Amino acid sequence: MNPYAYHSCLAERMHRFVDLRQLVGKDYCGQARFLSYFDRFLSEHRWSRQWITCEIIRSYRDSLAHLNIATQRCRMPVVRQFCIHLSVFEPRCYVPVKGEWTLHACPQRLPFIFTRTQVGTLLEAAGQLSPLPFPLRPHVYQMFFGLLYVTGMRISEALSLNVGDVDLQRQRIFVRKGKFGKQRWLPLADSTAARVQSYLDRRLCGCSSTADSPLFVSLHGNRLPKGSAEHNFRCLVRAYGISQRGRDHPKPHSLRHSFACHCLLKWYRQGVDINARLPVLATYMGHADMRYTYRYLHATPELLDEANRRFLNPYHQIINTEVTHE
Protein backbone atom coordinates (compact mmCIF):
# COMPACT_ATOMS: atom_id res chain seq x y z
CA MET A 1 0.00 0.00 0.00
CA ASN A 2 1.27 3.46 -0.94
CA PRO A 3 1.44 5.71 2.17
CA TYR A 4 2.13 8.85 0.13
CA ALA A 5 -0.53 11.20 -1.24
CA TYR A 6 0.10 12.96 -4.55
CA HIS A 7 -1.44 16.33 -5.36
CA SER A 8 -0.28 17.41 -8.82
CA CYS A 9 -2.36 17.12 -11.97
CA LEU A 10 -0.72 13.72 -12.53
CA ALA A 11 -1.59 12.45 -9.05
CA GLU A 12 -4.07 9.83 -10.28
CA ARG A 13 -1.57 8.49 -12.81
CA MET A 14 1.10 8.31 -10.11
CA HIS A 15 -1.14 6.37 -7.73
CA ARG A 16 -2.01 3.88 -10.46
CA PHE A 17 1.65 3.53 -11.41
CA VAL A 18 2.71 2.76 -7.83
CA ASP A 19 -0.21 0.36 -7.37
CA LEU A 20 0.80 -1.48 -10.53
CA ARG A 21 4.41 -1.83 -9.36
CA GLN A 22 3.27 -3.18 -6.01
CA LEU A 23 0.84 -5.63 -7.62
CA VAL A 24 3.74 -7.40 -9.32
CA GLY A 25 5.32 -8.05 -5.92
CA LYS A 26 7.59 -5.03 -5.47
CA ASP A 27 7.63 -3.17 -2.16
CA TYR A 28 8.15 0.18 -3.93
CA CYS A 29 7.62 2.28 -0.77
CA GLY A 30 10.99 4.00 -1.14
CA GLN A 31 10.37 4.74 -4.81
CA ALA A 32 6.88 6.03 -3.96
CA ARG A 33 8.50 8.52 -1.59
CA PHE A 34 10.96 9.64 -4.27
CA LEU A 35 8.07 10.06 -6.70
CA SER A 36 6.32 12.29 -4.14
CA TYR A 37 9.22 14.76 -4.42
CA PHE A 38 8.65 15.00 -8.16
CA ASP A 39 4.91 15.38 -7.56
CA ARG A 40 5.57 18.26 -5.16
CA PHE A 41 7.89 19.86 -7.72
CA LEU A 42 5.14 19.71 -10.36
CA SER A 43 2.63 21.23 -7.94
CA GLU A 44 4.98 24.05 -6.99
CA HIS A 45 5.51 24.83 -10.68
CA ARG A 46 1.75 24.62 -11.35
CA TRP A 47 2.19 21.96 -13.98
CA SER A 48 -1.09 21.42 -15.85
CA ARG A 49 -0.27 19.11 -18.76
CA GLN A 50 -1.11 15.43 -18.71
CA TRP A 51 2.32 14.49 -19.97
CA ILE A 52 5.93 15.26 -19.05
CA THR A 53 8.21 17.40 -21.21
CA CYS A 54 11.96 17.48 -21.56
CA GLU A 55 12.01 21.02 -20.13
CA ILE A 56 10.30 20.08 -16.84
CA ILE A 57 12.59 17.07 -16.44
CA ARG A 58 15.64 19.30 -16.87
CA SER A 59 14.23 21.81 -14.39
CA TYR A 60 13.66 19.06 -11.86
CA ARG A 61 17.13 17.66 -12.45
CA ASP A 62 18.64 21.12 -11.95
CA SER A 63 16.72 21.48 -8.68
CA LEU A 64 18.57 18.40 -7.40
CA ALA A 65 22.03 19.72 -8.29
CA HIS A 66 22.81 20.60 -4.65
CA LEU A 67 22.37 16.94 -3.63
CA ASN A 68 25.12 14.36 -3.83
CA ILE A 69 25.32 11.92 -6.71
CA ALA A 70 23.95 8.97 -4.75
CA THR A 71 20.80 10.89 -3.79
CA GLN A 72 20.22 12.00 -7.39
CA ARG A 73 20.62 8.43 -8.57
CA CYS A 74 17.91 7.40 -6.13
CA ARG A 75 15.41 10.09 -7.08
CA MET A 76 15.63 10.21 -10.85
CA PRO A 77 15.21 6.55 -11.93
CA VAL A 78 11.68 6.35 -10.50
CA VAL A 79 10.77 9.50 -12.47
CA ARG A 80 12.04 7.79 -15.61
CA GLN A 81 10.01 4.67 -14.80
CA PHE A 82 6.92 6.80 -14.31
CA CYS A 83 7.53 8.56 -17.63
CA ILE A 84 7.78 5.19 -19.39
CA HIS A 85 4.46 4.20 -17.80
CA LEU A 86 2.86 7.52 -18.72
CA SER A 87 4.09 7.35 -22.34
CA VAL A 88 1.81 4.34 -22.89
CA PHE A 89 -1.19 6.66 -22.41
CA GLU A 90 0.40 9.91 -23.57
CA PRO A 91 2.75 9.41 -26.56
CA ARG A 92 3.95 13.01 -26.20
CA CYS A 93 5.47 12.19 -22.81
CA TYR A 94 9.24 12.63 -22.68
CA VAL A 95 11.24 9.69 -21.30
CA PRO A 96 14.60 10.71 -19.76
CA VAL A 97 17.68 8.98 -21.09
CA LYS A 98 19.35 6.63 -18.61
CA GLY A 99 22.20 8.34 -16.78
CA GLU A 100 21.39 11.91 -17.77
CA TRP A 101 20.40 12.87 -14.22
CA THR A 102 23.89 13.34 -12.74
CA LEU A 103 25.20 15.92 -15.19
CA HIS A 104 25.13 18.68 -12.58
CA ALA A 105 26.30 16.83 -9.52
CA CYS A 106 28.13 18.35 -6.57
CA PRO A 107 31.51 16.82 -5.65
CA GLN A 108 30.86 13.69 -3.64
CA ARG A 109 32.38 13.53 -0.17
CA LEU A 110 34.12 10.36 0.90
CA PRO A 111 32.09 8.29 3.35
CA PHE A 112 33.31 8.08 6.91
CA ILE A 113 35.20 4.87 7.70
CA PHE A 114 35.47 4.00 11.38
CA THR A 115 38.68 2.59 12.77
CA ARG A 116 38.33 -0.38 15.10
CA THR A 117 39.26 1.88 18.00
CA GLN A 118 36.51 4.33 17.06
CA VAL A 119 33.97 1.51 16.82
CA GLY A 120 35.00 0.38 20.30
CA THR A 121 34.63 3.94 21.60
CA LEU A 122 31.18 4.26 20.04
CA LEU A 123 29.90 1.00 21.51
CA GLU A 124 31.36 1.72 24.93
CA ALA A 125 29.71 5.16 24.88
CA ALA A 126 26.38 3.63 23.85
CA GLY A 127 26.59 1.26 26.81
CA GLN A 128 26.99 4.26 29.10
CA LEU A 129 23.83 6.07 27.95
CA SER A 130 21.46 7.04 30.73
CA PRO A 131 18.97 4.26 31.57
CA LEU A 132 16.35 6.85 32.53
CA PRO A 133 13.49 6.75 31.85
CA PHE A 134 14.08 3.50 29.88
CA PRO A 135 16.30 0.89 31.61
CA LEU A 136 16.95 -0.97 28.34
CA ARG A 137 18.17 2.13 26.52
CA PRO A 138 21.96 1.60 26.82
CA HIS A 139 21.61 -2.11 25.99
CA VAL A 140 19.38 -1.41 22.97
CA TYR A 141 21.73 1.13 21.40
CA GLN A 142 24.91 -0.78 22.18
CA MET A 143 23.48 -3.92 20.57
CA PHE A 144 21.93 -1.99 17.68
CA PHE A 145 25.09 -0.11 16.65
CA GLY A 146 27.22 -3.19 17.29
CA LEU A 147 25.03 -5.35 15.06
CA LEU A 148 25.16 -2.74 12.28
CA TYR A 149 28.94 -2.94 12.37
CA VAL A 150 29.51 -6.70 12.63
CA THR A 151 26.88 -7.62 10.02
CA GLY A 152 26.95 -4.60 7.68
CA MET A 153 23.16 -4.44 7.74
CA ARG A 154 21.31 -1.38 6.53
CA ILE A 155 19.71 0.61 9.34
CA SER A 156 16.22 -0.13 7.95
CA GLU A 157 16.97 -3.87 7.95
CA ALA A 158 18.13 -3.83 11.57
CA LEU A 159 15.15 -1.77 12.72
CA SER A 160 12.77 -4.23 11.04
CA LEU A 161 14.17 -7.27 12.88
CA ASN A 162 11.78 -9.22 15.10
CA VAL A 163 12.59 -11.52 18.00
CA GLY A 164 11.64 -14.50 15.83
CA ASP A 165 14.25 -13.52 13.22
CA VAL A 166 17.06 -14.45 15.60
CA ASP A 167 18.08 -18.11 15.46
CA LEU A 168 20.83 -18.47 18.06
CA GLN A 169 20.76 -22.27 17.89
CA ARG A 170 22.18 -22.01 14.38
CA GLN A 171 23.85 -18.64 15.07
CA ARG A 172 22.15 -16.64 12.35
CA ILE A 173 19.74 -13.75 11.81
CA PHE A 174 17.04 -13.60 9.16
CA VAL A 175 16.80 -10.26 7.33
CA ARG A 176 13.14 -10.25 6.43
CA LYS A 177 12.82 -6.76 4.97
CA GLY A 178 15.88 -6.18 2.83
CA LYS A 179 16.16 -3.62 0.07
CA PHE A 180 13.70 -4.21 -2.78
CA GLY A 181 12.01 -6.90 -0.68
CA LYS A 182 15.00 -9.27 -0.79
CA GLN A 183 15.55 -11.61 2.16
CA ARG A 184 18.69 -13.37 3.43
CA TRP A 185 20.21 -15.23 6.36
CA LEU A 186 23.26 -13.72 8.06
CA PRO A 187 25.59 -16.13 9.92
CA LEU A 188 26.94 -14.77 13.22
CA ALA A 189 30.33 -15.29 14.84
CA ASP A 190 30.44 -16.99 18.23
CA SER A 191 31.20 -13.73 20.03
CA THR A 192 28.35 -11.91 18.26
CA ALA A 193 25.87 -14.71 19.03
CA ALA A 194 26.87 -14.53 22.71
CA ARG A 195 26.28 -10.77 22.75
CA VAL A 196 22.89 -11.16 21.09
CA GLN A 197 21.93 -13.82 23.63
CA SER A 198 22.91 -11.51 26.49
CA TYR A 199 20.85 -8.71 24.97
CA LEU A 200 17.83 -10.98 24.45
CA ASP A 201 17.94 -12.10 28.08
CA ARG A 202 17.46 -8.46 29.12
CA ARG A 203 15.12 -7.57 26.26
CA LEU A 204 12.65 -10.41 26.87
CA CYS A 205 12.31 -9.69 30.59
CA GLY A 206 10.58 -6.33 30.29
CA CYS A 207 8.88 -6.38 26.88
CA SER A 208 6.80 -8.63 24.65
CA SER A 209 8.53 -11.90 23.81
CA THR A 210 6.37 -13.03 20.90
CA ALA A 211 8.13 -13.95 17.66
CA ASP A 212 6.68 -10.94 15.82
CA SER A 213 7.64 -8.38 18.50
CA PRO A 214 10.45 -5.96 17.54
CA LEU A 215 13.99 -6.90 18.47
CA PHE A 216 14.97 -3.30 19.17
CA VAL A 217 12.44 -1.42 21.26
CA SER A 218 11.83 2.13 22.51
CA LEU A 219 10.42 3.42 25.78
CA HIS A 220 6.90 1.98 25.45
CA GLY A 221 7.97 -1.34 23.92
CA ASN A 222 7.31 -0.19 20.36
CA ARG A 223 9.76 -0.64 17.50
CA LEU A 224 12.78 1.64 17.78
CA PRO A 225 12.21 4.65 15.46
CA LYS A 226 14.84 5.46 12.85
CA GLY A 227 14.92 9.09 13.96
CA SER A 228 15.74 8.13 17.55
CA ALA A 229 18.54 5.81 16.45
CA GLU A 230 20.08 8.49 14.21
CA HIS A 231 19.73 11.18 16.89
CA ASN A 232 21.48 9.10 19.56
CA PHE A 233 24.18 8.13 17.07
CA ARG A 234 24.90 11.81 16.26
CA CYS A 235 25.00 12.69 19.96
CA LEU A 236 27.53 9.95 20.67
CA VAL A 237 29.93 10.73 17.81
CA ARG A 238 29.86 14.44 18.68
CA ALA A 239 30.34 13.85 22.41
CA TYR A 240 33.39 11.66 21.80
CA GLY A 241 34.85 13.67 18.91
CA ILE A 242 34.71 10.88 16.35
CA SER A 243 35.58 12.42 12.97
CA GLN A 244 38.05 12.33 10.07
CA ARG A 245 39.36 15.21 8.01
CA GLY A 246 38.18 15.24 4.39
CA ARG A 247 35.39 12.74 4.95
CA ASP A 248 31.66 13.00 5.48
CA HIS A 249 30.16 13.20 8.95
CA PRO A 250 29.66 9.78 10.59
CA LYS A 251 26.21 8.29 10.09
CA PRO A 252 24.77 4.90 11.06
CA HIS A 253 25.24 3.90 7.40
CA SER A 254 28.97 4.59 7.87
CA LEU A 255 29.11 1.39 9.91
CA ARG A 256 28.07 -0.55 6.78
CA HIS A 257 30.90 1.05 4.80
CA SER A 258 33.30 0.29 7.66
CA PHE A 259 32.17 -3.34 7.78
CA ALA A 260 32.98 -3.83 4.08
CA CYS A 261 36.38 -2.13 4.31
CA HIS A 262 37.37 -4.04 7.44
CA CYS A 263 36.34 -7.35 5.84
CA LEU A 264 38.59 -6.60 2.89
CA LEU A 265 41.44 -5.58 5.19
CA LYS A 266 41.07 -8.80 7.19
CA TRP A 267 41.21 -10.92 4.03
CA TYR A 268 44.31 -9.10 2.80
CA ARG A 269 46.04 -9.82 6.10
CA GLN A 270 44.97 -13.47 5.96
CA GLY A 271 46.44 -13.78 2.47
CA VAL A 272 43.25 -15.15 0.91
CA ASP A 273 42.12 -14.70 -2.70
CA ILE A 274 40.23 -11.38 -2.59
CA ASN A 275 38.48 -11.90 -5.93
CA ALA A 276 37.09 -15.22 -4.73
CA ARG A 277 35.79 -13.67 -1.49
CA LEU A 278 34.10 -10.58 -2.96
CA PRO A 279 30.98 -12.49 -4.15
CA VAL A 280 30.62 -13.78 -0.58
CA LEU A 281 30.76 -10.21 0.74
CA ALA A 282 28.22 -9.09 -1.88
CA THR A 283 25.79 -11.84 -0.89
CA TYR A 284 26.21 -11.12 2.82
CA MET A 285 25.49 -7.42 2.24
CA GLY A 286 22.40 -8.20 0.17
CA HIS A 287 23.71 -7.11 -3.23
CA ALA A 288 22.54 -8.82 -6.40
CA ASP A 289 25.25 -7.08 -8.45
CA MET A 290 28.93 -6.74 -7.53
CA ARG A 291 28.91 -3.13 -8.74
CA TYR A 292 26.98 -2.10 -5.66
CA THR A 293 29.49 -3.82 -3.38
CA TYR A 294 32.40 -1.96 -4.98
CA ARG A 295 30.85 1.32 -3.81
CA TYR A 296 31.55 0.26 -0.23
CA LEU A 297 35.22 -0.57 -0.77
CA HIS A 298 37.31 2.51 -0.06
CA ALA A 299 41.04 3.14 -0.04
CA THR A 300 41.82 3.51 3.65
CA PRO A 301 45.50 3.91 4.69
CA GLU A 302 45.55 0.43 6.24
CA LEU A 303 44.01 -1.16 3.15
CA LEU A 304 46.45 0.60 0.80
CA ASP A 305 49.36 -0.53 2.95
CA GLU A 306 48.23 -4.17 2.81
CA ALA A 307 47.57 -4.00 -0.95
CA ASN A 308 51.01 -2.46 -1.48
CA ARG A 309 52.64 -5.18 0.64
CA ARG A 310 50.90 -7.92 -1.35
CA PHE A 311 51.95 -6.30 -4.63
CA LEU A 312 55.60 -5.96 -3.62
CA ASN A 313 55.98 -9.33 -1.90
CA PRO A 314 56.76 -11.36 -5.09
CA TYR A 315 59.42 -8.81 -6.07
CA HIS A 316 61.04 -8.99 -2.63
CA GLN A 317 61.22 -12.77 -3.03
CA ILE A 318 62.89 -12.41 -6.44
CA ILE A 319 65.41 -9.89 -5.09
CA ASN A 320 66.23 -12.07 -2.08
CA THR A 321 66.72 -15.09 -4.35
CA GLU A 322 69.12 -13.19 -6.62
CA VAL A 323 71.14 -11.86 -3.69
CA THR A 324 71.41 -15.38 -2.24
CA HIS A 325 72.70 -16.78 -5.54
CA GLU A 326 75.31 -14.04 -5.80
User: Are residues 123 and 222 part of one domain?
Assistant: yes
Query: DSSP letters of 128-173?
Result: TS--SS-TTHHHHHHHHHHHHHHH---HHHHHT-BGGGEETTTTEE
* 45 alpha-carbon distance from chain centroid: 32
Domain that holds residue 89: 11-102
pLDDT for position 258: 97
pLDDT for position 326: 53
User: Are residues 286 and 228 part of one domain?
Assistant: no
Output the domain CATH number for residue 198.
1.10.443.10
User: Are residues 224 and 131 part of one domain?
Assistant: yes
User: Are residues 86 and 135 part of one domain?
Assistant: no
In a domain, 267, yes or no: yes
* Number of domains composing the chain: 3
136-168 pLDDT per residue, tens: 999 999 999 999 999 999 999 999 999 999 999
User: Are residues 307 and 282 part of one domain?
Assistant: yes
User: Are residues 152 and 84 part of one domain?
Assistant: no
In a domain, 127, yes or no: yes
Distances (CA, A) of 25 to 48, 128, 129: 32, 43, 41
In a domain, 110, yes or no: no
User: Are residues 299 and 203 part of one domain?
Assistant: no
pLDDT for position 311: 83
In a domain, 248, yes or no: no
In a domain, 171, yes or no: yes
In a domain, 176, yes or no: yes
CB 52 within 8 A of CB 13: no
User: Are residues 216 and 120 part of one domain?
Assistant: yes
pLDDT for position 323: 47
Catalytic residue positions, numbered: 154, 179, 253, 256, 287, 296
In a domain, 247, yes or no: no
In a domain, 84, yes or no: yes
Total-model pTM: 0.79
pLDDT for position 70: 75
User: Are residues 93 and 44 part of one domain?
Assistant: yes
69-108 pLDDT per residue, tens: 778 888 999 999 999 999 999 999 999 988 766 545 455 6
User: Are residues 120 and 87 part of one domain?
Assistant: no
User: Are residues 87 and 130 part of one domain?
Assistant: no
- For the chain, list the strands marked E by DSSP: 166-167, 172-175, 184-187
User: Are residues 89 and 138 part of one domain?
Assistant: no
Per-residue pLDDT of the chain (326 residues; tens, 9 = 90+): 677 899 999 999 999 999 999 888 777 888 999 999 999 999 999 999 999 999 999 999 999 988 877 788 889 999 999 999 999 999 999 999 887 665 454 556 788 999 999 999 999 999 999 998 899 999 999 999 999 999 999 999 999 999 999 999 999 999 998 887 789 999 999 999 999 999 999 998 878 889 999 999 998 889 999 999 999 999 999 999 898 766 778 999 999 999 999 999 999 999 999 999 999 999 999 998 898 999 999 988 999 998 888 888 777 666 665 545 45
End-to-end CA distance of the chain: 77
Domain boundary pick from 239, 262, 287 = 239
